[in-house]
Structure 1
Amino acid sequence: MTRRKPLTIAVAVILALLVAGGIGLLVRQAFFKPKSITAYFTSATAIYPGDEVRVAGVKVGTIKAIQAQGTKTKFSLAVDRDVPIPANAQAIIVSQNLVGARYVQLTPPYEDSGPKMSDGAVIGLDRTAVPVEWDQVKTQLMRLATDLGPKDDASKTAVGRFIDSAANALDGNGQKLHDTIA
């Protein structure tokens, strides 16, 4: 009977630890898990799950998932719960430079008053923005080169040759550039 008593105590201690761990996990998930925010953008070029979410340039979370949904793209963001975000915040994809990593900027930063964005909030297309893409810049520069250059072939001008050469160098290398810089 004396050998059973230590076994009973050991089982009771293990059960108590499991219950305490379970309660701790529930408390952690309820109070410390990141806030989920969904944002819809018109495109998701050169931005990936795992990239940063920032407020005033400071990392406050990450992009958990990106899903194409017809003419829009759904971003699932995980933001630190203790960072207040204004209820009417905008989400902007920021490109630091032509080939650098991108991130989502939530703006404006929260002031001392006003409603805060809650867990599960949605930021619609009317409150999001994406950077101008290189292809759009190239199209406009080609139009300018055509207007300024000879009428028979825009690629014969210096501006036209530069644009063609830059486009050829960057074509299809978005992921490689992201991996190199990130």
Structure 2
Amino acid sequence: MRNENKEIAVGVVAVSALLLVLAFFYAGRSHVVGKAAAASYTLNATFNRIDGLFPGDPVRLGGIRVGTVAKAELDRNYRARLTFRMDADVRLPEDTAAAIHTDGLFGSKFVVLLAGGEDATIKPGGAITHTQDALIVSELLELIIAEGRAARAKQDAAAKAAAKEGTRP
């Protein structure tokens, strides 16, 4: 009987310790999230396309993370409307621009902010009006291939013309 009691006691202690750790983790996380939400504000920006950008992705200014994408939705004109949650201490001029970039050739997407020079700042809940859409890698590759084919066709035509001129009497 004693071994069974020891096993039960060890099990109760282990489960209690696990529950205690989970409780501390949850309490700490909700405190941090609540604190972060209190120390932030939202901005909006509208793009034609945001391919590969999702809520939670970073918003950067000068290479430093200053916010996150909080929400992505369609506006009434079927354009992509992003809501950013910005750090409270970051105030942006009204002529700030937002662009969607990629980490490397096939990396994850993020929003880059380019601060303007105006003195007036965008109010919390306001909008960034100057935007640049996401660059689609497959479209870029198709453009490069098409340019290469066009250059090759010009070279071939020039070579044929030179060959004809060289064979004339």
Question: Shorter-chain TM-score: what band?
Answer: 0.5 to 0.7
AA aligned to 2:107 is G
Q: 2:121 aligns with which of 116, 119, 127?
A: 116
AA aligned to 1:62 is T
SS of 1:83's partner is coil
Aligned twin of 1:78:
85
- How far the C-alpha of 1:71 sits from its partner, in A, is 4.4
SS of 1:135's partner is helix
AA aligned to 1:53 is V
Aligned twin of 1:146:
149
The number of aligned residues is: 119
Q: 2:43–2:128: 8 Å Cα contact kept in structure 1?
A: yes
Structure 1 unaligned residues grouped into runs of 5+ = 1-27, 151-182
Percent of paired sites with the same residue: 20
AA aligned to 1:147 is A
SS of 1:137's partner is helix
CA distance in 2, matches of 1:148, 1:88: 40
CA distance in 1, matches of 2:145, 2:114: 34
Report whether the alignment pairs 1:35 with 2:38.
Answer: no
- How far the C-alpha of 1:144 sits from its partner, in A, is 2.9
- TM-score, L = length of structure 1: 0.57
Runs of 4+ in 1 over 4 A off after TM superposition: none
CA distance in 2, matches of 1:59, 1:33: 15
CA distance in 1, matches of 2:134, 2:82: 16
Structure 2 unaligned residues grouped into runs of 5+ = 1-33, 154-169
CA distance in 2, matches of 1:48, 1:77: 11
Aligned twin of 2:101:
94
- TM-score, L = length of structure 2: 0.60
CA distance in 2, matches of 1:107, 1:149: 38
Q: 1:107 aligns with which of 81, 91, 114?
A: 114
SS of 1:144's partner is helix
Larger radius of gyration: 2
CA distance in 1, matches of 2:147, 2:114: 34
- How far the C-alpha of 1:143 sits from its partner, in A, is 1.6
Aligned twin of 1:132:
135
- How far the C-alpha of 1:80 sits from its partner, in A, is 0.8
Q: 1:61 aligns with which of 47, 62, 67?
A: 67
AA aligned to 2:46 is Y
